[in-house]
Amino acid sequence: MNIVILAAGQGKRMKSALPKVLQTLAGKPLLQYVLDTALSLQGKQSKTGPIVVVGHGAVDVKDFLLNLSKEDSRFAKVTTALQAEQKGTGHALLQALSKLDVQEPTLVLYGDVPLTSKDTLSKLLKLADGVRGQDAALALLTQNLTNPTGYGRIVRDTDGSVAAIVEEKDATSAQKSIQEINTGIMVLPTNALKRWLKALRASNAQGEYYLTDVIAMAVKDGVPIRTTQATHEFETVGVNSRDQLAALERAHQLHIATQLMAAGVSLSDPARIDVRGTLECGTDVFIDVGCIFEGDVSLAAGTKIGPYCVIRNSVLGKDVIVNAYSHIDGAKVGNQSIIGPYARLRPGADLANDVHIGNFVEVKNSKIAANSKANHLAYVGDSIVGSRVNIGAGTITCNYDGVNKHQTIIEDDVFIGSDTQLVAPVRVGRGATLGAGTTLTKDAPANQLTVSRARQVSLQWQRPVKQVKKPVAKKAVAKKVLVKKAVVKKTVKGKK
Ligand code: UD1
Ligand code: CA
């Protein structure tokens, strides 16, 4: 099938330098949602990809599409058609006409209606496909709204069949009371569409070529018109302003929360979670308020996430406890591990089972084996840490010499005393103990105590006594101030 995405409009009400279709919902540009759905509908085998009609901000939108296709080859199939002047939705579709395959139906989508599901669109395509052969139907996605203000209304005959779509600005007061609205999304027989688009006239309140006028033409030509509605109202909501974008974001997040709960996840408040990507959860996962999940995150069964955590592109095992305000990015966390509060796992942090990472501990590009602990105020970077290691408070791996990064290896059963610096590259042998305050610049042998601090001494000593200053007479103080002022005046004059 042909898929055309209309995305040339200005989006004035956004009051933004960014074209409207590039505004983000759950961290992803609106247009990308529509493209993802379009590509999944067309399938990998399809030779043609979606056609995006660009106009306002065309350079930015094309740049965005180019970057997308570099990141993901699926998007390489997307092409654009330029609508240099925005003269309405019918005029926009006209610009893509030469690219359409007349043997296939055409699905029209909107760049500012991001959340229409694949299921809903498949249903719509089936409706249009109902009669095989020359008499393909026109399928229209409509929606019943308690407040239909601003939308085109679906006008039906007494027998219930669709007669026309009337835009708000052209509607009579009787038509304005119609609650069934045009979502804008439709499937049309392409051959007839060509004819209809060329016959459009801009004789309406907005002086635009309305795509919606093809409905009355289809009725006249005896083309059957069928309608269906989306499962969820948010699927057909368009974004014109920032408050609509925020409202759609909440609706989208609430839908994700509902799906998570249906899959066996406990949320302490379904209105206070944000998933900006995909979140996979095992059963009995618990998520407290204010957490943000970005990219691809998976939490295995029984894992508990405390309040206000940010977790991005990470895999957490079973029965993990992440305490409040922890930040986990590009990390792997083994079963039964305990993270935070206030912990930071950075890309390449790879923790085995039952690892404890406590408050103000940062781990980057490091493997930590089972049953090891760094519970307070430490930095573990570019390291390999064995099992049953205890990293004391304030321990720092000095991995960076200002130019290059170096590795620290800490073998099994090591005990590192508090406030130790391990100047990499360096190795701590199995079972070694490092005394508190050690600055380790050479490898520490296994099973020995290594200490590098100065020996403690105690001396007889007299603490200095504060000298008492003589009180200064009041008059003298006043004089001093006067003298100072005079000096200031002089220098100012001198400057002139
Ligand atoms: C349109 C429909 C209306 C429907 C509503 C649903 C028409 C005439 N009206 O109205 O019946 O209820 O959508 O949201 O079709 N665009 C272009 N070029 C243009 C004009 C628009 O590409 O010259 C694109 C916009 O970028 C946008 C889409 O078409 O993605 C819809 O345009 P918009 O101006 O928002 O139409 P509405 O007035 O909302
Ligand atoms: Ca709109």
What distances in angstroms separate CA 95 from CA 6, 85, 135, 257, one per listed residue?
10, 11, 25, 40
pLDDT at 323 over 80: yes
| DSSP label of 395 | -
| Ligand sitting nearest the alpha carbon of 51 | 1
Mean local confidence (pLDDT), 85-106: 96
Mapped onto helix, strand or coil, the DSSP state of residue 413 is: coil
> Model confidence at 108, in pLDDT bands (50, 70, 90)?
very high
Q: pLDDT per residue over 331-357, tens digit each?
A: 999 999 999 999 999 999 999 999 999
188 vs 136, higher pLDDT = 188
Rounded distance between C-alpha atoms, residue 13 and residue 65, angstroms: 24
Residue 76, token pair as written in the block: 């390489």
Counting residues of the chain whose pLDDT is more than 70, the rounded percentage is 94
Lowest-confidence pick of 378-387, 433-442, 469-478: 469-478
* pLDDT band with cut points at 50, 70 and 90 for residue 136: confident
pLDDT of 484 above 70: no
Query: Residue 310 phi/psi, 5° resolution?
Result: -115, 120
Model pLDDT, residue 100: 96
Strand ranges in 230-360 using DSSP code E only, listed in sequence order: 266-267, 273-281, 286-287, 291-299, 304-305, 310-312, 315-316, 321-322, 327-329, 332-333, 338-339, 344-345, 350-351, 356-359
Instruction: Give residue 470's pLDDT.
Output: 86
pLDDT at 476: 57
Substitution candidate for ligand 1 out of 10, 61, 89, 91 with most atoms within 8 A of CB:
89
Q: Whose CA is nearest to atom 11 of ligand 1?
A: 152
Residue 125 confidence class, pLDDT cut points 50, 70, 90 = very high
Closest ligand 1 atom to the C-alpha of 183? 6
Stretch 31-53: mean pLDDT, rounded?
A: 95
Identify the weakest region by mean pLDDT among 74-83, 132-141, 336-345, 415-424. Answer: 132-141
The answer to whether 239 touches 245, Cβ cutoff 8 Å, is yes
Whole-number Å distance between alpha carbons of 393 and 378 = 6
Q: 108 CA distance to ligand 1 centroid (A)?
A: 11
Q: Is 444 in the pocket of ligand 1 (CB under 6 A)?
A: no
Atom in ligand 1 nearest the alpha carbon of residue 165: 11
The residue whose CA is least distant from atom 26 of ligand 1 is 9
Q: Which of 232, 255, 327, 376 is catalytic?
A: 376
Rg of the Cα atoms in the chain:
34
Q: How far, in Å, from the CA of 237 to the mean position of ligand 2?
A: 9
Rounded Cα distance between 57 and 65, Å, is 12
Lowest mean pLDDT among 65-74, 212-221, 396-405, 467-476: 467-476
Q: How confident is the model at residue 480 (pLDDT cuts 50, 70, 90)?
A: low
From ligand 1's centre to the CA of 444, what distance in Å? 71
Q: If you search the block for the tokens 């923790």, which residue do you land on?
A: 351
Nearest-atom index, ligand 1, CA of 53: 22
Q: What is the reported pLDDT for 11?
A: 86
Which residue matches tokens 């997308």? 68
Q: Distance between CA 161 and CA 172 in Å, rounded?
A: 20
Reduced to 3 states (helix: H, G, I; strand: E, B; else coil), residue 477 is helix
User: Above 50 in pLDDT, residue 494?
Assistant: no
Residue whose pair of structure tokens reads 């279709």 in the numeric block: 21
Which range has the worst mean pLDDT, 5-14, 286-295, 393-402, 469-478?
A: 469-478
Classify domain 2-236 at the CATH topology level: Spore Coat Polysaccharide Biosynthesis Protein SpsA; Chain A (3.90.550)
Q: Would you place residue 44 in the very low, low, confident or very high pLDDT band (cuts 50, 70, 90)?
A: confident
In terms of Cα–Cα distance, which of 321, 326, 329, 278 is closest to 303?
321
Architecture of the 242-450 domain: 3 Solenoid (2.160)
User: Taking residues 230-255, what's their average pLDDT?
Assistant: 96
Mean pLDDT for the stretch of residues 113-136:
84
Centroid of ligand 2 to alpha carbon of 196 (angstroms): 22
**Is 456 buried (19+), middle (13-18) or exposed (0-12) by CB count in 10 A?**
exposed
> How far is it, in rounded angstroms, from Cα 421 to Cα 396?
5
Can you tell me the mean pLDDT for 23-31?
A: 98
User: How many residues in the chain?
Assistant: 496
CATH 3.90.550.10 in the chain, residues?
2-236
pLDDT confidence tier of residue 495, bands split at 50, 70 and 90: very low
In Å, how far are 23, 38, 39, 74, 191 from 118, measured between CA atoms? 21, 8, 10, 17, 25
Residues 58-79, mean pLDDT to the nearest whole number: 96
Whether the Cβ atoms of residue 5 and residue 53 lie closer than 8 Å to each other: yes
Q: How far is the CA of 89 from the centre of ligand 1 (A)?
A: 5
Average pLDDT for residues 21-42, to the nearest whole number? 97
- pLDDT digits over 357-371, tens only? 999 999 999 999 999
What local confidence, expressed as pLDDT, does residue 356 receive? 98
CB of 181 sitting under 6 A from ligand 1: yes
Average pLDDT taken over every residue of the chain? 94
Q: DSSP of 159-200, one letter per residue?
A: TS-EEEEE-GGG--HHHHT--EEEEEEEEE-HHHHHHHHHH-
Check pLDDT > 80 for residue 133: no
CATH 2.160.10.10 residue ranges of the chain are 242-450
Supply the pLDDT for residue 348.
Answer: 98
- Centre of ligand 2 from the C-alpha of residue 112, in Å: 7
Task: For residue 400, report the phi and psi dihedrals to the nearest 5 degrees.
Answer: -125, 125
State which H helix or E strand residue 480 sits in. Answer: helix 474-495
Q: Please, which residues have CB within 8 angstroms of residue 474's CB and are 6 or more apart in sequence?
A: none
Q: From the CB of 52, is ligand 1 less than 6 Å away?
A: no
Minimum CA distance residue for ligand 1 atom 22: 8
Q: What is the pLDDT of residue 477?
A: 57
**pLDDT band at residue 475 using 50, 70 and 90 as cut-offs:** low
CB 356 within 8 A of CB 376: no
Question: Is residue 394 lining ligand 1, measured as CB closer than 6 Å?
Answer: no
Query: Does residue 86 have its Cβ closer than 6 Å to ligand 1?
Result: yes
130 pLDDT more than 70: no
Q: Is 232 a catalytic residue?
A: no
pLDDT at 46 over 90: no
Minimum-distance ligand 1 atom for the alpha carbon of 5? 30
Count each helix (H run) and each strand (E run) in the chain, helices first.
9, 39
Q: Which of the ligands is closest to the CA of residue 114? A: 1
489, pLDDT greater than 70: no
Residue 186 reports pLDDT greater than 50: yes
